[in-house]
Amino acid sequence: MKTNESTTPPEKSEPEPHRVRLPGFITEQEIGLGDVIKRTTTYLGIRPCGGCERRAEALNHWLVFTNQKLR
């Protein structure tokens, strides 16, 4: 048996989130969908829980709002 071979499968690269351009709506900084929902619910007085953080993270990996031109 060779010692240089790895027994772990190669890591899958995480897919890039979808990017939506909304000029004039967002500052120069990108913001994820999860962060938008978290800010909105906090503004409305809904306190976040641990599940909210996980959902926000998952939504941020799915969709990002940007002000930059897309390729």
**Per-residue pLDDT tens digits for 39-65:** 899 999 998 888 989 999 999 999 988
Q: Is residue 26 over pLDDT 80? A: no
- CA atoms of 62 and 33, how far apart (whole Å): 8
Q: Is residue 10 over pLDDT 60? A: no
Output the CA–CA distances (angstroms, integers) from residue 4 to 1, 9, 35, 40, in the order listed: 9, 14, 43, 51
